[in-house]
Amino acid sequence: MANLSTPAIVLRVLTHGEYDKIITLFTSTQGLVSVIAKGAKKSKRRFSGVLELFSVLEVVWSHGTKKGLPVLQEASVVHCFETIRKNIVKMAYASCWTEMVYAWMEKGESHLSIFELLRSSLELLDKNVVSDELLSIHFQTNFMAEIGFQPRLDKCLACNIPLEKFPTQFAEFSLPRGGLLCQRCWGTRPNSLTLSIGTVKHLQWILKNSRDKALRLRLSDSAINESFRFLDGFVSYYLGRNLKTLKFIRQVCR
């Protein structure tokens, strides 16, 4: 079978034996792909400085045996993101995004819009042009929307009154229902998260607008913290697992 060439983002790097590495890539055309990079561990010439976490690469691989992994033949760096790898906070956010992609995407399933969302978010994180916190809120909300779990933030799911007419300045977000309940309707419900109306409107703005417009939003520290608490619960609930990087971000970044 002919070699395959595609842009790719490095999600995971594992040592395999004495000489090789197994690289998990998120590609623009093939989705998640795990390839074996032969000699990458020992050789100073083959793939030296190329197979780094989060890097955007142009890769070429060939299919191995029926039971074996595809073999990485060539890899060249498009973006290396050195600023991210030198900063523990940026590393934490980038790791969170790549863990979300790895947790949800299927091997061989192409999703170009998510690839572009991850690539552009890593580029902005590396450039220091937007706050890391707002960028992560933008990534997480848009990723969840892309995979079919956009939160319903416009009205109460029980009585249908619009957000603007909620009787108090707080709403309850029902995780099982995927949307808001007003104070008159929420009662005592498990798996719910309390949000201020102001934070709900911020999240609406991020979801409704273009990336450039959304990332001009100014958030207070309390709005950032509340957004992160919401996303911690929302992302973990719908991905069906507690992400290790979310816990690390809570401990180190906030």
What is the structure's pLDDT at 18? 85
What is the structure's pLDDT at 108? 82
Q: Rounded to whole angstroms, how far apart are CA atoms 227 and 246?
A: 13
pTM: 0.92
Class of domain 4-80: mainly beta
Q: Rounded to whole angstroms, how far apart are CA atoms 50 and 77?
A: 6
What is the structure's pLDDT at 127? 96
> 89-252 has which fold?
de novo design (two linked rop proteins) (1.20.1440)
What is the structure's pLDDT at 253? 61
Q: Please, where in the chain does CATH 1.20.1440.120 lie? A: 89-252
Per-10-residue mean pLDDT for the chain, 254 residues long?
Answer: 85 90 95 92 78 95 79 93 94 96 90 97 96 97 97 96 95 95 81 93 97 95 94 95 80 65
Q: Please, where in the chain does CATH 2.40.50.140 lie? A: 4-80
The answer to whether residues 100 and 26 touch, using CB atoms and an 8 Å cutoff, is no
Token couple for 149 = 């779990």
